[in-house]
Amino acid sequence: MPADLSAARVKEAALIALLRSAGDVVVGFSGGVDSAYLACVAVEALGADRVTAVIGRSASYPEEQWANARTVAVRVGLTVREVDTDELADPRYAANPSNRCYFCKSELWSRLRPIADAVGAGVLVDGTNADDLCEYRPGARAAAEHGVRSPLAEVGLTKSEIRALSRERGIPTWSRPSSPCLASRLPYGTPVTVERLRAVERAERVLRELGVTGDLRVRHHGDLARVELTSSELDRWLGARDVAELERAVRTAGFARVAIDLHGFRSGSLNVLEGIVRE
């Protein structure tokens, strides 16, 4: 959390001004930390009748993501629409190239644009934040091609600031771990299939049920699941008895072998493994 919230509050004021100047908006809404905060501020800035949040349902996300998104929408008074996306039907996406996210986001925004037109919203917005601009994000090009704006990034709000401001507003997502799509658990070049996505989803769900907290990723390496935990969770789970429980849980999800990453959780871990980004 940022020690001084005053800078974040200044950025928030800029965000409100930006949204007011934009007019009616459609928010690409996942129910995660960023889009929930953005939608909440948009409702404050414009009024609930001028904000439409759209959930793009996809096989690339866990089922519980959508249930959470609906719950958050109700809590913050959002009008929500839902649309199915089908990026897995696009062979360019399913082949899992390093710019996979471009094809996924192209599919998403091509589905949301007609909704924006239908409700008379001039602007599509997403929850990209200022930190995201420093990462490898091929999906950003798709957003630009579809005229999507990223107000959080435009005013320079970082993830930690968004969490702090969300907490201040009582938005329930403030402490929720980041939850990128399940395809991000597959090394590039490993085809994205429903079966692989569901195996990752099952493994992460059983680990949550077992009591794993904080950031968690189960990376899919064929027969091997590589589990990334936070440093404190590594300390906790590497005790002999606990680690056996963890291994059994992941095996039930369909992996023959289970390994625990000794470095621990790293956002974009597979980008490092593939040499796309350096640490």
Partner 1 sequence: MSAETLRTALAREGVDAEVEARGRLAVLRASSPDQWTEARRRAVAVTLAADHGFTHVALELSAADAAVRRD
Chain positions contacting partner 1, by CB under 8 A: 221, 224, 226-227, 231, 234-235, 238-240, 243-244, 246-247, 256-263, 269, 272-273, 275, 279
Cα angle 222, 228, 229 (rounded to 5 degrees) comes to 155
- Cβ partners under 8 Å of residue 15, min gap 6: 41, 45, 151, 152, 155, 157
CA distance 204 to 182: 10
Phi-psi bin for 97: left (phi > 0), alpha (psi -120 to 50), beta?
A: beta
Place of tokens 């404190």: 232
Q: Is the Cβ of residue 93 or residue 237 nearer to partner 1 in the bound state? A: 237
DSSP state of 132: G
Q: Supply the minimum distance, in Å, between the C-beta of residue 122 and partner 1.
A: 44
Q: Supply the minimum distance, in Å, between the C-beta of residue 162 and partner 1.
A: 29
Q: Supply the minimum distance, in Å, between the C-beta of residue 267 and partner 1.
A: 14
Q: Is the Cβ of residue 192 or residue 227 nearer to partner 1 in the bound state? A: 227
Q: Supply the minimum distance, in Å, between the C-beta of residue 204 and partner 1.
A: 16
Q: Exposed, middle or buried by CB within 10 Å (0-12, 13-18, 19+), for 75?
A: middle
Q: Supply the minimum distance, in Å, between the C-beta of residue 220 and partner 1.
A: 12
Nearest Cα residue to 22 out of 104, 96, 116: 116
Q: Is the dihedral angle over the CA atoms 36, 42, 48, 53 positive or is it negative?
A: negative
Token digits for 93? 């996406």
Token digits for 64? 């519980």
Q: Is the Cβ of residue 2 or residue 222 nearer to partner 1 in the bound state? A: 222
Q: Supply the minimum distance, in Å, between the C-beta of residue 30 and partner 1.
A: 27
Amino acid sitting at position 80 = V
CA distance 212 to 196: 21
Q: Supply the minimum distance, in Å, between the C-beta of residue 238 and partner 1.
A: 5
Q: Is the Cβ of residue 87 or residue 247 nearer to partner 1 in the bound state? A: 247
Q: Is the Cβ of residue 5 or residue 243 nearer to partner 1 in the bound state? A: 243
